[in-house]
Amino acid sequence: MQDFRPIDLLNATHERGSIVLVRADLNVPLDEAGNLRDATRLARLLPTLETLSLAGMRVGILSHFGRPRGMPDKALSLAPVATALGQLMNTPIAFCDDCIGPTAASALTDLPEGGICVLENTRFHAGEETDDAEFAAALAALAHAYVNDAFSAAHRAHASTHALAKTLPAYCGHAMQAELTALNSALGNPARPLVAVVGGAKISTKLELIGNLSRKVDTLIIGGGMANTFLAAQGVEIGTSLCETGMLDTARAIIAEAAANGCRILLPCDGVVAPEFAAGQTGTCVDIAHVADNQMILDAGPQAVKDICNAFDEAQTLIWNGPLGAFEIEPFDAATTAAARHAAARTKAGQLKSVAGGGDTVAALNHAGVAEDFSYVSTAGGAFLEWLEGKQLPGVEALAAN
């Protein structure tokens, strides 16, 4: 794992009253009235803000919000998010309607020691998404130090995540450090056996992910719609199930490569089928070799779940991305829920290190009521997936190089 300067070092090397820019991810869901619908990302930011505030730093928060395409857009202002953050922290949070220039400079210097100000959407400036050095310099002119606490934006080489980290003394926030530590323990230097679950609809969207994991894990469990393509590639008749017929050769190549790497691929041996994916359907369990022509596989079957749980029982480390079936509609959530609860129970018993991430994954674990019981659940989305794919993340690389 790369070395990063921890935030505690910042507090030890900068005087009270110093101005610190914190790159956060405030790109959170709001309803039409501007009210926060999910506070998870904001909650994970609080330890960093509290550490800096207690040390007497003046804190300016940088973030993008939506896609304003390099121009101001009132509908994408961070003002309502600043209000929500203040309510969550139970402390006043200032807001500035720009993130560079005299207005932003005054907003930060006027803060009391320990004060916090949310600066306006960085994407209101075209230089943000082009990683422009001049825009980064304008940001840097506001402050004495920089903290990146937005792993979820680390896969983008933008000015506030990349160029800025090379301009100011840069430090790693608490949430960023927790994410990197968890991910390193899961894939960088894991306790073995290492098992990965990859689910979802299509192989084509997770080719790099599957390829990287097949070179690193001991068992790769494939579920969801993409399992149908692997089954079809092996000559299994899958009825009307979702299948990427143009990816059959690719699936066979993945199976061959995994075998060459000593990675076992685990596919469902039975499934729950129905005539269509719709509410009110009654699922029928069948052996995977006996799917009728007019039926579609919508979930893994009970024996498949037992096989998956047995793999969890043998594992020391688990990585999970994607559901095992069409969990959004009952009863096709059964396999994902049962497997997730089994992994959670082993984690709580201290028998398994479990790391999960991806939008559908987080939703599925919350649906199963076990998200809090996994060792770590990433809300990073694209950055989490690119890390699983083995890609370098510009925001992390810049932070490490500083």
- The CATH number of residue 285's host domain is 3.40.50.1260
> What pLDDT band is residue 1 in, cutting at 50, 70 and 90?
low
Backbone angles phi, psi at 328, to 5 degrees: -65, -25
The C-alpha angle 199, 200, 206, rounded to 5 degrees, equals 85
306 in active site? no
Q: What average pLDDT does the chain have?
A: 94
Task: Tell me which of 70, 211, 382, 390 is the catalytic residue.
Answer: 382
The answer to whether residues 161 and 232 belong to one domain is no
Could you say which of 176, 203, 227 is where a domain stops? 176
User: Which residue from 348, 344, 351, 326 is spatially nearest to 336, judged by alpha carbons?
Assistant: 326
The answer to whether residues 166 and 229 belong to one domain is no
Q: What is the DSSP letter of 328?
A: T
The answer to whether residues 172 and 203 belong to one domain is no
Domain that holds residue 229: 190-388
pLDDT surpasses 90 at 379: no
pLDDT at residue 40, as a whole number:
87
The answer to whether residues 65 and 199 belong to one domain is no
pLDDT tens-digit profile of 295-318? Answer: 999 999 999 999 999 999 999 999
377 - beta bridge partners? 356
The answer to whether residues 136 and 194 belong to one domain is no
> Within a domain: residue 47?
yes
> Within a domain: residue 122?
yes
* Domain count for the chain: 2
127 in active site? no
202 in active site? yes
Q: List, as one string, the DSSP characters of 48-61.
A: HHHHHHHTT-EEEE
**Interatomic CA distance for residues 206 and 201, integer angstroms:** 9
**Interatomic CA distance for residues 275 and 140, integer angstroms:** 59
357 in active site? no
Using a pLDDT cut of 70, give the percent of the chain over it: 100
The answer to whether residues 170 and 202 belong to one domain is no
The residue type found at 51 is: T
**Interatomic CA distance for residues 370 and 267, integer angstroms:** 24
The answer to whether residues 100 and 216 belong to one domain is no
The stretch 195-219 carries a mean pLDDT of 92
pLDDT surpasses 90 at 400: no
The answer to whether residues 275 and 204 belong to one domain is yes
pLDDT at residue 2, as a whole number:
66
> What pLDDT band is residue 137 in, cutting at 50, 70 and 90?
very high
How large is the greatest C-alpha to C-alpha distance in the chain, in angstroms?
Answer: 72
> What pLDDT band is residue 37 in, cutting at 50, 70 and 90?
confident
Neighbour tally for 91: CB within 10 Å: 14
Task: Tell me which of 23, 41, 44, 206 is the catalytic residue.
Answer: 41
Task: Tell me which of 5, 166, 202, 215 is the catalytic residue.
Answer: 202
> Within a domain: residue 300?
yes
Using a pLDDT cut of 90, give the percent of the chain over it: 85
> Within a domain: residue 302?
yes
> Within a domain: residue 394?
no
The answer to whether residues 194 and 126 belong to one domain is no
